[in-house]
Amino acid sequence: MAIIQTLQNAVLKAVETLYGETLEAEKVQISPTSPEFTGDYTVVVFPFVKLAKKAPDVVGAEIGDFLQTNIPDVQAFNVIKGFLNIELSTAFWQKFLQSALNDPAFGRQPRNGQKVMVEYSSPNTNKPLHLGHVRNCLLGWSCSQILDTAGYDVIKVQIVNDRGVAICKSMLSWLKFGEGKTPETTGIKGDHFVGDFYVLFEQKTKEEYENWQQSAEAGALFAAKHKTEQSEKDFFKDFKNKWFNDHSSLGAEVRDMLLRWEAGDPDTIALWKQMNSWVYQGFDTTYAKLGVAFDKLYFESDTYLLGKDIVEDGLKKNVFYRKDDGSVWVDLTDAGYDQKVVLRADGTSVYITQDLGTARMRYHDFGCENMVYVVADEQNYHFAVLFEVLRRLEEPYAHGLHHLSYGLVELPTGRMKTREGTVVDADDLVDEVIRIAREQAAERGGTEVNNADENLRRVGLGALKFFMIKVNPKRRMIFNPEESVDLQGQTGPYIQYSWVRINGLMQRVKKENVDLSPATAYTDFQPQEKDLLKALHEYPGVVLTAAREYDPSHIANYCYGLAKSYHRFWHDLSVFNADAPEARAFRLELSRAVSKVLGKGMGLLGIEMPERM
RNA sequence: GGCUCCGUAGCUUAAUGGAUAGAGCAUCUGACUACGGAUCAGAAGGUUAGAGGUUCGAGUCCUCUCGGAGUCACCA
């Protein structure tokens, strides 16, 4: 890292002394040299040719000369078509390897004094977590780890959507059809138990609706209101919400229950607490399986009335305005958005009011000047509006807001639908990938080892997590449960396997008490070794990029590249049977550094390394 | 319809405006018998949806066209 800064400053100075021109630091582009050329880092000289009034190759040679005479670590250079390739000395790389090995916090930035809150998962309490939550959780968790490594103090939170019509449906369903059963008496995991009653409610509603469609009332409605060319089936499909609100007895009961909940009716509250506690026990298990955790939970039942004070502020600041009916609005048409209601005429909150209030509450709770919301991209517009309003209100954290928007996970058949039973359950998914890992291990004639179950768990989860994190978050993802996840090629297990290979080496080093001291005497770097050194050197920068872009896929792709280089190194060069003791020592040290960085990098993704596989 | 995002090999995808667009899967060829083959080497596969433009340089920026998705509730 430091060397790049040194090179950059030196290039600026070179341009100044050679051509008498000063230029902005951003004009100096330094990147790792492409594999097909010799060199370690490359300076693009095109931005300077106009100032120098010389041909690109001449400018490159002159700057190269300057760098070589002024920076001891620069050993050689070459210029090809306007690209200045710089070769760093063997001594530099030896120094770097030792410092990377000796620094337990390699790649970790000093604390920057800023706090960032990361909100992720944010489930509803009427059903278990599914595939979509898995992607959300993996993104949220790894993003938190990355921001922490990049220097922030991170607070991980989720907002639990624990109130509203949905949970009332589960509650009512349990009251009517539950016969007093509990997760304990049935042995069903709490979140699944509650989710089953939600599904049952939807089934009962469907039955009621189908019966109702046979009634004279329904027939008359269809006759009076259907559009020409509209079939009876289509008409009733469109009519379902209205039917549920105006005609359904189950619908009436649910609304009644919601009213009683809002009024604080003791029996309803007790039931609500009971059912939610079942769900939370289930969630805890799933989160533990996924290896994610939270510092604080926010509950919608506590926040859904928030935001009134912020609305008052907005009115005072003329960011909001009140209509004659008493409702409060914000006009964002000058920013390309719409007019949005922020408070109903009856004085109650809407969705965005809650989010406004919750943001302010969080700032008061933690003083976090940055907030990241991990939420699917279907809410892009909502967050654009939310952030715009907070900026206009001049909230102190308004410029540290980021919506980590990710593409929905869909199945080959389309979006997952609870009602159609096409939801891929998170628990099932985790069990499935571990089962596949076990099956694969058996096929490979895996020998009996200690901690076999733990290793298989890490391999299976490693495959799943890497599969979901390696692609850019914003990309929509089609997940085929049939094919599930691969264990070969660009996968988690591929990377784990390189780590396992090194682990084997290290155990042998320990057993045979190998002397590592001559490592620094080795100078005849092979290309495979140089690739590894260069890759290791990239790590801290990759973490910063991932943090800046809120994109863990950079880490995943980096780890894959490092593992790939290691596998090649392993195949081409012998470690224990190296020609010279210093070569063996160096390769062992290099391997140790690779395993260290792979462990750290994969750790940022929440992926653990198996001892053996 | 308005706004936003997306379109890269058969499939999944990578690429701070920089060199001959880089990988994996699938297909075809090869490489052990253990420093572990969940590996490695090689072949084949691309008009980066299309057309213009800006630039020394465009998958990347701008305009238009085509195709896909999301959103445009006093729901959350």
pTM, 2 dp = 0.95
Which class for A257: exposed (0-12), middle (13-18), buried (19 or more C-beta within 10 A)?
buried
Walking along chain A (613 residues) 10 residues at a time, the average pLDDT comes out as 89 91 85 91 92 90 95 95 94 96 96 97 94 96 98 97 93 95 97 95 92 90 80 81 88 93 94 96 97 96 90 94 93 89 91 94 96 96 95 94 94 78 90 90 69 89 95 90 80 96 93 89 93 96 96 97 96 91 95 97 97 88
**If we measure between CA atoms, which residue out of A86, A59, A83, A60 comes closest to residue A73?**
A86
- In chain A, positions 76-115 with C-beta closer than 7 Å to nucleic chain B are 80-83, 85
Q: What is the pLDDT of residues A194-244, one digit of tens each?
A: 999 999 999 999 999 999 999 998 888 888 877 777 778 878 887 888 889
- Asked if strand B comes closer than 7 Å to A484 Cβ, the answer is no
- Asked if strand B comes closer than 7 Å to A341 Cβ, the answer is yes
Question: What percentage of residues in chain A have a pLDDT greater than 70?
Answer: 98
Cβ count near A591 (within 10 Å): 22
> Strand B: which nucleotides have any atom within 7 A of a protein Cβ?
3-6, 12-16, 18-20, 23-26, 35-41, 56-57, 69-76
pLDDT, residue A246, reads 87
Cβ count near A452 (within 10 Å): 17
Nucleotide nearest to A304 (CA to C1'): B76
A472: left (phi over 0), alpha (psi -120 to 50) or beta: beta
Element (H, E) at A101: helix A90-102
Which class for A283: exposed (0-12), middle (13-18), buried (19 or more C-beta within 10 A)?
buried
- Asked if strand B comes closer than 7 Å to A212 Cβ, the answer is no
Q: What is the pLDDT of residues A525-581, one digit of tens each?
A: 999 999 999 999 999 999 999 999 999 999 999 999 999 999 999 999 999 989 899
- Asked if strand B comes closer than 7 Å to A300 Cβ, the answer is yes
pLDDT, residue A46, reads 92
pLDDT, residue A425, reads 92
- In chain A, positions 6-35 with C-beta closer than 7 Å to nucleic chain B are 29-31, 33-34
pLDDT, residue A447, reads 54
Q: For A414-451, where are the alpha helices, taking DSSP H only?
A: 426-443
Nucleotide nearest to A486 (CA to C1'): B25
Nucleotide nearest to A488 (CA to C1'): B38
DSSP result, A471-499:
S-TTS-EE--TTT---SSSSSHHHHHHHH
pLDDT, residue A441, reads 86
ipTM > 0.90 (yes/no) = yes
Classify A533 as helix, strand or coil.
helix
Name residue A238's amino acid.
D
Q: Which residues contact A264 (CB under 8 A, 6 or more apart)?
A: none
Q: Output the distance from A598 CA to B37 C1' rounded to whole Å.
A: 21
Torsion from C-alpha of A20, A21, A26, A32, nearest 10 degrees: -40
- Asked if strand B comes closer than 7 Å to A336 Cβ, the answer is yes
Q: Output the distance from A471 CA to B13 C1' rounded to whole Å.
A: 7
d(CA A92, CA A106): 17
Classify A397 as helix, strand or coil.
coil
